Amino acid sequence: MEYIIHGFIKAFQLLFSQDPETWSAVFATLKVSTYSISASLAVGIPAGFMLGYYQFPGKKQVRIVVDTLLSLPTVFIGLIVYAFLSKQGPMGNAGLLFSLPGIAIGQTILALPIVTALSAAAVEGMDRHLGTTLISLGANRRQLALSSLWEIRHGILAATLTAYGRVMTEVGISMMVGGNIKWHTRTITTAIALETGKGMFATGIALGLVLIGIAFAVNISVSFLRKK
């Protein structure tokens, strides 16, 4: 028990002393998660809206595929992205392997089904009379889409929060695609795994506290937006 208490004390010392190695992993995590969540929202929200709002042949099959991708293992995504970005892969010349943009590609693939599925579920739960009412009031297609998105804003916030939490806590993609390179592609989760394995318990706790702090900050922000 004593070494755990000592670990927490040392962790706070690392954080408040602005240890460069610790904060390097924090900034890398924030950067790559921002890239991936922005891309997944830009693609996933329109895709989820169309999947939930419109009727088209094969819709059930598409929905089954999207729902299945929710449980896609991160190590499998890491393997596929690694194969594409390696020198032997079709995107090998892009130089994205062992880089933060490369990790962001994998994390976007991880987050995209979450945003799409939850956005589609929010649209399906929307009042079906809303569209008829808006059209009767003279709304055009753009106004209809924007009003519908505003109606499901809480569902979109929930999708964003869920996807962000999944991205922030994943290890497999960051480890395989990023390579866990110190000062470069080492993220909070890969650093925790590495430092704990080396017996650097305090560093692992420090990074874990930062991860929890980010989660609290995101939740508080979402709660504030809901009230607004």
Domain extents in the chain: 2-227
Confidence at 1, pLDDT banded by 50, 70, 90: low
- The residue whose two tokens read 């390579």 is 179
pLDDT digits (tens, 9 = 90+) for 5-38: 766 676 677 667 777 887 888 899 999 999 999 9
The whole-number pLDDT of residue 132 equals 66
134 pLDDT above the threshold of 80: no
What mean pLDDT value characterizes the chain? 84
Task: Render pLDDT for 140-169 as a digit per residue (tens, 0 to 9).
Answer: 777 777 777 788 888 888 899 889 988 988
CA atoms within 13 A on the CB side of 137: 10
Mean pLDDT along residues 54-58: 87
What DSSP character marks residue 8?
H
**Quick one: CATH architecture of 2-227?**
Orthogonal Bundle (1.10)
